[in-house]
Amino acid sequence: MRLKFSQFLVLFLMIGGLMLGGCSTEQVSSNTSPASTTTSKVTETSSNSTAKVTTVSENKSESIPGMKNLPRLDGKATVVMTVKGSPITIEVDGDNAPITAGNFVDLVQKGFYDGLTFHRVVRDPQPFVVQGGDPRGDGTGGYVDQKIGTERRIPLEIKPEGEDEPVYGQIIKKKPVLTHKLGAVAMARSQMPDSASSQFYFALADLAFLDSNYAVFGYVTDGFDVVNQIQQGDKIDSAKVTQGAENLKTPE
């Protein structure tokens, strides 16, 4: 079915809002939105369709610089995020998104998300996302790793169906194992694929058009009613790993 112009414009604006706002070269991961514009997605997908695929095994030799220094989740973990006194249970999937899941669990363990604001909530004209995890509170910030003195950035990580390992740094056409169904939890980023840092979003509906463009790393398994009540400006009371903390592997 062909989209009317008004529907396309709404979709374009919604996706564009998922990106990190107003980023420069040095702030590319600070302006996170769950999606880039429809135009840029199509361009990236086309331009990368013949690009070399980078897998986990290749990463060991630093095909993507810095990946060996990122936290990794080998298996599953459970995170309970409390908002306005009510819990949201998230199953974090390190089996299918080890780097993205490891980054999230590591930040939870550090207490990074405690007290941060949900800076973007889009429910009209249709349910879209609840986005948070920005220390600046305006959609332009990320986690500054004191070891390196700059924002930690993680690569786009998508595991295609039928594959043994994720693909890194590429927007792909294949359907991913982890899809943007209702309750998905995924990383926001700028137009650059490898620019995610700490900002994440909850999917308020099935958002298949974001699949393979943004990295899903888990799902809300309980408390989605709490997610549905989050308003812009609400804060995360706390986030804690309740199961699977032993699966987190951090570099020495």
Please report the domains of the chain, with CATH numbers, ordered by start residue.
5-63+74-245 (2.40.100.10)
Locate 226 and state its tokens: 């709490």
Nearest to 34 by CA among 14, 56, 8: 14
Q: Which tens digits make up the pLDDT trace of 172-221?
A: 999 999 999 999 999 999 999 999 999 999 999 999 999 999 999 999 99
Least confident of 9-23, 154-168, 190-204: 9-23
DSSP conformation letters of 118-172? EEEEE-SSS--EEEE--TTSSS----EETTTTEE--B--EE-BTT-SS-EES---
Report the run of H or E that residue 242 belongs to, with start and end. strand 236-243
Specify the pLDDT at position 52. 38
Give dist(CA 118, CA 192) in Å, integer: 23
Give dist(CA 56, CA 166) in Å, integer: 7
- The more confidently predicted of residues 4 and 216 is 216
- The more confidently predicted of residues 57 and 144 is 144
- The more confidently predicted of residues 20 and 200 is 200
Specify the pLDDT at position 66. 81
The verdict on whether omega for the bond into residue 125 sits within 30 degrees of 0, i.e. cis, is: yes
- The more confidently predicted of residues 55 and 72 is 72
Specify the pLDDT at position 159. 98
Span 25-37, average pLDDT = 44
Specify the pLDDT at position 14. 57
DSSP conformation letters of 167-217? EES---SSPBSS---TTEEEE-B-SSTT-B-S-EEEESS--GGGTTTS-EE
Give dist(CA 129, CA 13) in Å, integer: 13
Q: Over 70: is that where the pLDDT of 21 sits? A: no
pLDDT-derived band at 120 (thresholds 50, 70, 90) equals: very high
Specify the pLDDT at position 17. 56
Tokens 């086309």 -> residue? 46
Give dist(CA 137, CA 116) in Å, integer: 7
Which whole-number Å values give the CA distances from 75 to 67, 196, 209, in the listed order?
18, 21, 27
